[in-house]
């Protein structure tokens, strides 16, 4: 008598002729969760996860930004005065 190898689902004990069928039998249920990138708290939906820890806004303007604007204004004035001379 020939022995026949079968593949058994480890969850419901069903037997299958191919390993593929057995693996497909009781696939684990996969849930989607959203996680706060800051403190790793899990949420069911994205909005809650995004609202968990507020993003820290950089305070004030970067150093040197105001002096850069002053430079641009000076350059503009210089160009204007050139135009007046011509």
Interatomic CA distance for residues 65 and 47, integer angstroms: 34
Stretch touching Zn ion by CB under 5 A, among 33-41, 57-65, 72-80: 33-41
16 binds Zn ion (CB under 5 A): no
Q: How far is the CB of 58 from Zn ion (least distance, A)?
A: 19
Closest CA to 26 of 45, 40, 39, 7: 7
Which segments within 1-86 are labelled E, that is strand?
A: 7-8, 15-16, 34-35, 42-43
Q: How far is the CB of 41 from Zn ion (least distance, A)?
A: 5
**Using CB under 5 A as the criterion, which residues of the chain lie in contact with Zn ion when the complex forms?**
9, 11-12, 14, 25-26, 36, 38-39, 41, 52-53
């Amino acid at each position: 008598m020939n022995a026949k190898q079968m593949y058994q689902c480890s969850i419901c004990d069903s037997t299958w002729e191919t390993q593929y069928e057995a693996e497909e039998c009781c696939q684990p249920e996969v849930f989607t969760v959203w996680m706060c990138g800051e403190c790793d708290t899990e949420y069911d939906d994205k909005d809650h996860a995004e609202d968990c820890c507020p993003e820290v806004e950089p305070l004030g303007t970067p150093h040197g930004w105001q002096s850069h604007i002053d430079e641009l204004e000076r350059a503009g004035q210089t160009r204007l005065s050139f135009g007046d001379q011509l």
